[in-house]
Each structure stands twice: as structure tokens, then as C-alpha cells.
Structure 1
Amino acid sequence: MIIGVPKEIKNNENRVALTPSGAKELAKYGHDIYVQTNAGSGSGFSDTQYEEAGANILPDIKSVYGRSEMIIKVKEPIQEEYGLIREDQLVFTYFHFASYEPLTRAMIDNKSICLAYETVEKEDRSLPLLIPMSEVAGRMSVQEGAKYLEKPLKGRGILLGGVPGVRPAKVLILGGGIVGTQAAIMAAGLGADVTIMDISLPRLRYLADIMPANVNTYMSSEYNIRELLPSHDLIVGAVLIPGAKAPHLITRDMLKLMRPGTVLVDVAVDQGGCIETCEPTTHENPTYIIDDIVHYCVANMPGAVPYTSTLALTNATLPYALQLANKGWKKACQENKELKLGLNIIKGDVVYKGVSDAFDLPHHNVDNYL
């Protein structure tokens, strides 16, 4: 198969979808890999390293899309890429369709095959291609939140872990999945007073068993969230419904319950955000303020630590990419139910219910295309 790796062009996105090590593995099976020049430079990988691994370097993004049967990316295509994707071309990346209708309709129009990292799902309901970036984003949410609590950055001016004789900051985490768990571990390690909320009692029991003593668990409900907001300094939104739009757990009116300088970090921004006042931001302009509350809503948080993120992502995606390349997307998805669940749009038809529901689009049975 001819595989293309374009350079990511989203604002401040420095990750790359394939490391030289991953390129070498694909080349071993006889696949042709085309990498756009400097695609890996932001993550610390040179064109020479890719060439030594058996990949070919192409001068521009148009060449990569034009030559490839399968495109492997990190982030969803942006408007400049819509016209480069052609009918029957397989695109393997994070799409997050349910949060952005123009992207959805563009991929319907170009009749490509869209296989989304975020909806590849194992039998135990875990999301193997979302987990590594969720781990990075969860840890980063506290790292960034701690920074924006500083007064020069418009925060409350509180040190997350406090000091002897001074109480630490209080951190509220909405969601006890991968992101929430990693955020809690990070916040607890820095010495904060942490509360993690979830609607699953078995999950809360599990978290209570594994977390250090400065992490409390609490059942999530609107009443309980409203009760805790006035006393917390950093709030992390970590709610995910696979392939669907995130629910708003913090509404606009709840901002008035918080103290000025409270920091909100919405890790669910890719899926529309679990905070109603969330709007996607970039690493260039990461925050904005509404009602004296600092909002950090960067849509590609792991892009700020591209070396770590690229290695973690390739570790997870490469086995699936090999199956797609070796067998073709149809056979690979027939034989692997995890990959089959990753199919969102096929040749103009939406085959993932969460996307259909988000925009009231017709839903088609994926089995009809395999």
C-alpha cells in the first residue's frame, strides 16, 4: 500500500503521525511510505531519519495526498486539506466529527473512507488510540491549570500544593476515566486537595482504592457540582462519550458560583466541551476570561509536548496501521471489530451513530460496506 504522512498544519501542532521507527516497520512489509518534508521536525525527527528508515520525502502536502492510498495523520483535516482528500482514499486520524459539522460534511462530500482513532474500541469499551493522548492531556491539564492559577496570568494567585502553614489549592475533576485519573494523579502528586467526580459507583470505588489520601471521590450530579464550585480553584473537565458530543456539566450561570481567578481546563473541547462557555483555543492564545473565570480550552493539548506525544501515539496506532496496510481497510475491518468501530464515514455515508445523531444525518449500517 502507498502510505502518506503529511505535515500537520493546525495551529502549533508539532506532532507527527508516524515515527521513523514506525516507518521502518511498515517498509519491512513492502509498503511505500511518503513523508512530507519536515513533517517530523517538530517532534525531533529529521527527514534523514525517515529516509534511513525506508521512507521517501516529498516536498509539499499536495504531493503526499496526491500519491497516497492511505493518509495517516494526528489531527483532523482542516479546511485547506478538504480539497486534497479524494474519493476512496483512506484517512486514519483523530476526527472528532461530532463537534464540527463543516468537517463532517466535507468528508461526506469528498467520499473518502474516514477511520477515526477516537472510536476504535475494544470489547471492554476501552479506546486504545485515545488512551495515550488522554494520558498526556490529563497530566497536562493540571500542569497548565497550575500555571494559569498564577496572578500575572489572571488566576487566583494560589500555589497548587501550598506550603507548610498554608492550605493547598482545591482541584475538582469532572470524570473518572483516563483523563480524569491522570489529572488526579498529577494534582495529588503536586500536593493539591483533589476531588474526582463520576456517575459510576464502581469506578469511584476503584479510584478510592488506588488514589492517595489527598484524593476524594464524589458522585457526580448537577446538585453536587454546584455545591463544590464555590470552594475549588482549578476545575478540569474530563468527560467523554465516545464519538459523540460531550454533555455540558458546567453551564454559563454556574460561573457566578466560582471565585474570580478560578481556572477551568476543558479537556473535552475536541468533542464540543463539557463546559458551556468553552470555545476551542490554541497554544498561541490558550486562554480567555468570562465573568472573571480563566478558561483554558486548547484543542490539541498534547501538541505542546510533541516528542512524548508522538512516541506514545505511534506505539498505539502502528499495530492498527499495519493491519490496514497489509490487508486493506475492508478486510482489516471485517477481521478486527476494534477497527470496524473506527469507521465513521464511508464514501459519503455516515456509519457511526454518534455522528449521525449530532447533526441529524442519515445513519447507514457499516456492514453494508464490508
Structure 2
Amino acid sequence: MRIGVAKEIKPQEYRVALTPAGARELVQRGHEVLVETGAGAGSAFSDAAYERAGASIAPVDEIWGGSQILLKVKEPIAVEYPRLREGLTLFTYLHIAADEPLTRALVDSGITAIAYETVETDRGALPLLAPMSEIAGRLAPQAGAHHLEKPKGGRGLLLGGVAGVAPGRVVVIGGGIVGYNAAVIALGLGAQVTILERSIDRMRHLEEILSGRVSLLMSSTLQIEQSLMEADLVIGAVLIPGALAPKLVTREMLGAMKESSVLVDVAIDQGGCAETSRATTHSEPTYVVDGVIHYCVANMPGAV
């Protein structure tokens, strides 16, 4: 099998789909591995490292035109649509539920596309999405804390507080992998953390593994509305695999939130869980709606 590894060209995307170690494993199993020139540079993997692992370095046209399987990290962007073709199998994060132009380009091209985020085990786990969810979840409180600082337009609030000053309040909507990891970091920063979740079994599990250090509340429209009124930082951590994220935070709810509070919508890859969410970039990560700072970077894990 001829397996190609494309260089990511989405803005501020530094990841690569295959490490030199992974290339070595494929080569040892009899596959031919082609890596686009400079594909690993953003992750500190040189072309020479791939060559030492047995891979070949090739230009972009050969990677897209000569591979049977193409590995990427993020979905193809518009300038890559003409490279999609019948006979090629693309393996990457796609998030097509929130991207109609990409969906049409994939269908029209005749390509076979497999989305990392929809690959499930027999038990329903998402082994390829989970690592990135962990990273995004851990980045979310950091991003929120940063944008709560006054120079960034925030409330001028330290999440952990100091002696004589109460810590900030963090509300996490969703208690899955993103929500759990967000809670871990928010707790580490010293914040008061509330997780809103619909599954009672999941809440019992979170109560056990977090040693009762968070407040766990049954998620409902009313509870979200009430919790947002008290929050300094809200983290949207909602996922329905392969589908658009539900719009749980309405425009009306924003009006009741604290001035210059922050919303970090990790669900933005699937359209976002707030009505006012729209994708942003690492270079321009935020915008303000009704006095609430929105952080909706679509490839958060790409930062690390």
C-alpha cells in the first residue's frame, strides 16, 4: 500500500498525521510511505528523521496524486478540494456536520473519506478523538483564564483567587472527556467548578474520580440558564459523535451573564454549543457578543 502524509496548510496548524516512529512501523509491514516535504517541521520532525525511518520525502503533487491512502490531521481546506479524487482514501478529522462546502466537495470528488472523530470501538468509545479531546479540555481553562485578564478585555479576574478574594466560578457544560479534563485544570488553578451533565451514571463516576471537589448538576435548559448567571468562565464541552452540537447556550442567556465573562466553546468543530458561536483562529481567537468574550478556536490542540 502506498501511504502519503500531507503537510497541514490550515492556518496555525502545526501537527502532522504520522510520526517517524509510525512511519517505521508501516514500512516494516511492507508499505511504502511518502511524506510531504516539511510536513513534520511544525512538530519538530525533520525530513531526515522520516528518511531514517524508511519513508520517502516527496512534493505535494506526488503526495496527493500518487498515494492510495492519504493521512492528514485536519479537514481539507478550499484550496485542497481540487486534489480530492476517486480512488484515494482520506483519513483525517473531518467534522463535516458543520461544514457543508467540504461535505459537497467530498461527495462530488468520489473520494473515500474516513473521519477520525467517528471511529468507534465495539463499546462505543472514540479512540482517535479522545486524545485531542483531552488536550482541548486541558487548554480550555488556560485560554479562559488568559482572556479573563483585563488587558485582554476580561473582568480582571484571577481564577484561583488570592487570600481575601474568592476564586472564579467555572461552569463546564458536558461531563465527557473534554469536560473532565477541563475540570481537572480548572481545579488545579483553584477555581470553583460546576459540571452540568445529563447522565447520572457519568456524574457518579465524575464524583468518584474527582473526589467530590466539583459540583455536579443535572443539565437542563433552566439549570444552564441559572448556572451561566453566576459563571466567570463557561466551557462548552458537548459532543454528539458525527452530528452538529446542540445549541444549549442561547443568545438570551448571554444577556444574563456577567459583563466581560468568557465562553470557551470547545464544541466549535461540530458547530458550537452556543447560538452565538462561530469559528475563530489562534491569531484572532476571540470576539464579543453582548458583553461576553467568545473563544471559539476550531483547532485548539494545534497550539501544542
TM bracket (short chain): over 0.9
Q: CA deviation at 1:211?
A: 1.0
Residue 107 (str. 1) matches residue 106 (str. 2)? yes
Q: Does 2:227 correspond to 1:228?
A: yes
Residue identity over aligned pairs, in percent, reads 57
Counterpart CA distance in 1 for 2:283 and 2:297 is 9
Cα shift at 1:215: 1.0
SS at match of 1:118: helix
1:137 to partner: Cα distance: 0.2
C-alpha distance in structure 1 between counterparts of 2:23 and 2:122, whole Å: 28
Aligned-residue RMSD, C-alpha: 0.8
Whichever residue aligns with residue 50 of structure 2, its letter is Y
How many Å separate the matches in 1 of 2:28 and 2:173?
44
Superposed counterparts of 1:287-366, under 5 Å: 287-305=286-304
Report the AA paired with residue 283 of structure 1.
H
1:1-370 equivalent positions in 2, closer than 5 A: 1-59=1-59, 61-305=60-304
Which AA in structure 1 matches 2:40? G
Partner of 1:351: none
Give the drift of 1:212: 3.9
Shift of 1:189: 1.2
Higher fraction of helix:
1
**1:199 to partner: Cα distance:** 0.7
Q: Determine the C-alpha separation between the residues in 1 that align with 2:123 and 2:28.
A: 32
Equivalence for 1:333: none
Superposition deviation, residue 163 in structure 1: 1.0
Offset, 1:62:
2.1
Q: Distance in 2 between matches of 1:88 and 1:45?
A: 29
TM-score normalized with structure 1 length = 0.81
Code of the aligned partner of 2:87:
D
Deviation, 1:266, is 0.4
How many residue pairs get aligned? The number is 304
Which whole-Å deviations, capped at 9, do the CAs of 1:196-242 have from their partners, x for residues lacking one?
01111111111111114431100000000111111110000000000
Deviation at 1:154, TM superposition (A): 0.7
Runs of 4+ in 1 over 2 A off after TM superposition: none
Paired letter, 2:240? I
**Aligned equivalents of 1:287, 1:159: Cα separation in 2:** 19
Alpha-carbon contact 1:188-1:212 (below 8 Å) kept: no
Q: Distance in 2 between matches of 1:287 and 1:30?
A: 46
Q: TM-score, normalised by structure 2?
A: 0.99
Gapped runs of 5+ residues in structure 1?
Answer: 306-370
CA contact (8 A) 1:155 1:263 kept: yes
Q: Map Cα deviations across residues 272-303 of structure 1 (whole Å, 9 max, x no partner).
A: 00011110001011111111110000000000
Deviation for aligned residue 1:53: 0.5
- Provide the secondary structure at the position in 2 that maps to 1:16: coil
Unaligned runs of 5+ in 2: none
SS of equivalent residue, structure 2 residue 196 = strand
Higher alpha-carbon deviation: 229-238 or 204-213: 204-213
| Bigger RCO (CA 8 Å, 6+ sep) | 1
Work out the CA distance in 2 between the residues paired with 1:44 and 1:74: 16
